Amino acid sequence: MVGHRVILQYLVGPKLDPDNPDQEVRGQPEAVTGAYWLHASSRTGIEISRSLSAEATDLFFVPWSSILVLNGVSRSELEEEAGESFAIDRQKLLERLVDPQAKDSGVGLDARRYLTYNPDDEEVRQALEQLPRSYQFP
């Protein structure tokens, strides 16, 4: 769901007094619900922001232990989107690999991406191996 808008419910503690940040604050946790952009996910938690194009200072981290509910795009929608956005025309890819153009520096990356989904395609693999090194690793 990274890069998508999600609905998040999470727990937060009481707020610190900005005039006295060294003082401990005690109080009840509260549940917060909001719509956020999901920027990253790891084993420890998620990074979210209110803006899709957030700077690093606008991101905030929510640990998995405080997340109550995370709703977003369904798995089938994500798979469909991935199929559309990562679909690479095999024949066009082979043509690009055989005759790489100076402006097409991403042909090696496209070939490796294609091989991720089609690991048994020896013709593409062989064409990638014969590609000049400058195109393999832009």
Task: Give pLDDT, residue 84.
Answer: 66
In-domain check, residue 132: yes
Question: Do 54 and 100 reside in the same domain of the chain?
Answer: no
Question: Do 56 and 94 reside in the same domain of the chain?
Answer: no
Percentages (nearest 5) of helix, strand, coil residues in the chain: 35, 25, 40
Query: Global pTM?
Result: 0.52
Question: Do 57 and 102 reside in the same domain of the chain?
Answer: no
- What residue numbers bound the domain in which 129 lies? 88-136
In-domain check, residue 79: no
In-domain check, residue 34: yes
Question: Could you give the number of structural domains in the chain?
Answer: 2
Question: Do 95 and 59 reside in the same domain of the chain?
Answer: no
Question: Do 55 and 93 reside in the same domain of the chain?
Answer: no
In-domain check, residue 81: no
Question: Do 45 and 11 reside in the same domain of the chain?
Answer: yes
Question: Do 59 and 100 reside in the same domain of the chain?
Answer: no
Choosing from 45, 74, 103, the residue where a domain stops is 74
Q: Rounded to whole angstroms, what are the CA distances from 97 to 64, 85, 103, 126?
A: 44, 20, 13, 10
In-domain check, residue 54: yes
Task: Give pLDDT, residue 137.
Answer: 65
State the chain's mean pLDDT as an integer.
85
In-domain check, residue 23: yes
Question: Do 9 and 70 reside in the same domain of the chain?
Answer: yes
pLDDT digits (tens, 9 = 90+) for 53-101: 767 678 889 999 999 999 887 777 766 766 666 567 889 999 999 999 8
**Could you tell me which of 96, 103, 91 has the C-alpha nearest to residue 131?**
96
Choosing from 51, 74, 97, the residue where a domain stops is 74
116 pLDDT band, cuts 50/70/90, is: confident
Distance CA 25, CA 120 (A): 59
Task: Give pLDDT, residue 62.
Answer: 94
